[in-house]
Chain A
Amino acid sequence: MKRGVKMSELKKQNREFVLPGEEIVNSIDYLPGKNCFREGNSILSKRIGIVNVKGRVISVIPLSGVYVPRGGDMVIGKIEDIQSSGWIVNINSISDAYLPLSGVREFIDTTKTDLSRFYAVGDVIYGKINYANSHTIHLSMQDPRARKFRSGRIVAMSPAKVPRLIGKEGSMINMIKDAALCRINVGQNGLVWFEGEKEDHVVDAIKLIEREASLDGLTDKVSAMLKEAK
């Protein structure tokens, strides 16, 4: 494969900043992936973000934007309303999510039990997106990681930058957990719960990641910051 030749065709290189409507490449050898579109022979970006070239697929990792729920994501949400067979949960996304009775681990006999005994309005939970489409978002609490938060703190960050907070195979988040001696639950929707000894370290790390998510050497920077903070 003449890979060397192909790379030079890119108008925007891998990891380069790009704006909506900007051309990344003018070649039919590539395919438009996430947040990209094809016009004629060109592939362009739909959003502000960072170019990501994987083989022949070009996508853009967005730097901003509302959280779009995907099945399998763990999210943090707040109970807004209780209905006859489930709960309405605010997940800070395009619309509220629904947690049906079937999504709860325990068996609930609605004729005998008041649903608010499980989750009351105002409770904050860590749940999984069971499925999401244009009509509805369903949550489930069946995942072993799912729980209700009774204490701790929550900080909001840009959902687009959550992957950087987690890091490759959890490398970044584990480093922060160890350095700050905190339990941390990360919601893909940009909400992060934590509790432990050095909670401020977690806040500082998140702020740093938010600011510099698109730069290289982020792991080293965060590591250095955490070491100094002691």
Chain B
Amino acid sequence: MKRKDGRKPGDLRPIEIKAGVIEQADGSAMVKMGRTTAVAAVYGPREMHPRRMQKSEKAAIKAIYRMAPFSTTDRCRPGPSRRSQEISMVIRECLEPALFLEEFPKTGIYIYVTIIQADAGTRTAAINAASVALADAGIPMRDLVTSVAAGKIGNDYMLDLEYKEEEVTAADIPIAYMPRTKKITLLQMDGDMTVKETEQTIQTAIKGCEMIYEMQKKALKERWDIKQAEKPARKEAVSKPAKKAKEKGD
């Protein structure tokens, strides 16, 4: 069954991930899944304020998810909503198992994610961005965390639901997953499905996560692994001996 945007049931939307997009932050990332665009910034480890929120044996995570007023079809008022607060909480909880929090007791790791364009799957884009931003910031991690939503329309298990599909799917199941250890750190479901269908949907989402994982790694490599970026340039230098590449610092 062909989807409205021409995808096959097991296809992801076009995904773009970039690490290190916000200079002021300790770590940052932008993730586009179809038209949904999330920007995440990580500050930390830093002193945790207020004091009473400090944890004596490990770092405390503070995650705040917000949507820009111009991100939605009809403008959403700036500020927190119950939905954004719930999503902030699940983001924190799905990333926590991946972080070595014991290394920085009493500190805070601040994760800010803003959706600048919303078109379904906003929490999954937010988690993918936050995960890359955490690695970008040098926070010690067991693995990256990857997220995507899946559902079932008709007889097909659909990966990475887009806006209109969310309305007709039998269920909307976003997951967050640590691909190396195959651990699920977020699982939510809205809908009405048999147990078997639910398991199958989760399986579909897991496959999607494994694909996105490679893209997250690629984005981090592009930002940090200069050796990889240099390889083609070196070849050119060899074939054009007269010219010497002069780089201006930026």
Residues of A within 8 Å of B227, CB to CB, are 17, 214-215
Proximity string of chain A (168-204) to chain B, C-beta cutoff 8 Å, 1 when within and 0 when not: 0000000000000000000000000000000000011
Cβ of B163 under 8 Å from chain A: no
Query: Contact residue range for chain A?
Result: 20 to 34
Proximity string of chain B (202-234) to chain A, C-beta cutoff 8 Å, 1 when within and 0 when not: 000000000000000100110011111010000
Q: Which residue of B lies closest to A46 (CB)?
A: B140
Known: A135-B106, A207-B249. A46 touches B26 (CB 8 A): no
15 A–B pairs (Cβ distance < 8 Å), ordered by A: A17-B221, A17-B225, A19-B144, A19-B217, A19-B220, A21-B144, A48-B136, A64-B224, A65-B139, A66-B45, A66-B138, A96-B47, A204-B249, A208-B247, A214-B224
Q: Which residue of A lies closest to B218 (CB)?
A: A19
Contact call B221/A20, Cβ cutoff below 8 A: no
User: Which B residues, 100 to 121, have Cβ-Cβ distances below 8 Å to chain A?
Assistant: 100, 104-107
Apart from A20-B135, A39-B181, list 8 A-B contacts with CB within 8 A.
A20-B140, A20-B144, A39-B142, A94-B45, A134-B106, A214-B224, A214-B227, A215-B230
Name the contact of A64 in the complex, choosing from B100, B138, B247 (C-beta under 8 A).
Answer: B138
Cβ of B44 under 8 Å from chain A: yes
Known: A64-B27, A64-B224. A48 touches B106 (CB 8 A): no
Name the contact of B47 in the complex, choosing from A44, A47, A94 (C-beta under 8 A).
Answer: A94
Interface of A is mostly: loop
By the criterion of a CB under 8 Å from any partner CB, how many residues of chain B are at the interface?
Answer: 36
Tell me the smallest distance from the CB of B146 to a CB of chain A, in Å: 11
Q: Complex Cα distance A37/B137, Å?
A: 18
Q: Which residue of A lies closest to B217 (CB)?
A: A19
Q: Complex Cα distance A204/B230, Å?
A: 20
Name the contact of A62 in the complex, choosing from B100, B138, B180 (C-beta under 8 A).
Answer: B138
Contact call B226/A215, Cβ cutoff below 8 A: yes
User: Which A residues, 141 to 192, have Cβ-Cβ distances below 8 Å to chain B?
Assistant: 160
Tell me the smallest distance from the CB of B241 to a CB of chain A, in Å: 16
Tell me the smallest distance from the CB of B19 to a CB of chain A, in Å: 9
Cβ of A26 under 8 Å from chain B: no
Question: Which of A21, A94, A211 has most chain B Cβ within 10 Å?
Answer: A21
Proximity string of chain B (82-106) to chain A, C-beta cutoff 8 Å, 1 when within and 0 when not: 0000000000000000001000111
Q: Complex Cα distance A19/B225, Å?
A: 10
Q: Complex Cα distance A95/B135, Å?
A: 21
Residues of B within 8 Å of A96, CB to CB, are 47
Known: A17-B224, A19-B221, A204-B249. A63 touches B138 (CB 8 A): yes
User: Which A residues, 29 to 50, have Cβ-Cβ distances below 8 Å to chain B?
Assistant: 35, 37, 39, 44, 46-48
Contact call A48/B138, Cβ cutoff below 8 A: yes
Contact call A214/B226, Cβ cutoff below 8 A: yes
Contact call A48/B105, Cβ cutoff below 8 A: no
Tell me the smallest distance from the CB of B233 to a CB of chain A, in Å: 12
Tell me the smallest distance from the CB of A55 to a CB of chain B, in Å: 23
Cβ of B141 under 8 Å from chain A: yes
Q: Complex Cα distance A63/B27, Å?
A: 12
Q: Complex Cα distance A211/B27, Å?
A: 16
Cβ of A114 under 8 Å from chain B: no
Q: Which residue of A lies closest to B138 (CB)?
A: A65
Tell me the smallest distance from the CB of B212 to a CB of chain A, in Å: 14
Known: A63-B138, A64-B27, A64-B136. A95 touches B47 (CB 8 A): yes
Cβ of B143 under 8 Å from chain A: yes
Question: Which of A37, A48, A204, A211 has most chain B Cβ within 10 Å?
Answer: A48
Tell me the smallest distance from the CB of B179 to a CB of chain A, in Å: 8
Cβ of B8 under 8 Å from chain A: no
Tell me the smallest distance from the CB of B50 to a CB of chain A, in Å: 14
Cβ of B46 under 8 Å from chain A: yes
Contact call A48/B107, Cβ cutoff below 8 A: no
Name the contact of A66 in the complex, choosing from B44, B136, B181, B250 (C-beta under 8 A).
Answer: B44
Known: A66-B45, A94-B46. A21 touches B142 (CB 8 A): yes
Known: A19-B135, A66-B138. A48 touches B46 (CB 8 A): no
Tell me the smallest distance from the CB of B111 to a CB of chain A, in Å: 14
User: Which B residues, 21 to 73, have Cβ-Cβ distances below 8 Å to chain A?
Assistant: 26-27, 44-47
Tell me the smallest distance from the CB of A46 to a CB of chain B, in Å: 4
Q: Which residue of A lies closest to B181 (CB)?
A: A39
Contact call B107/A20, Cβ cutoff below 8 A: no
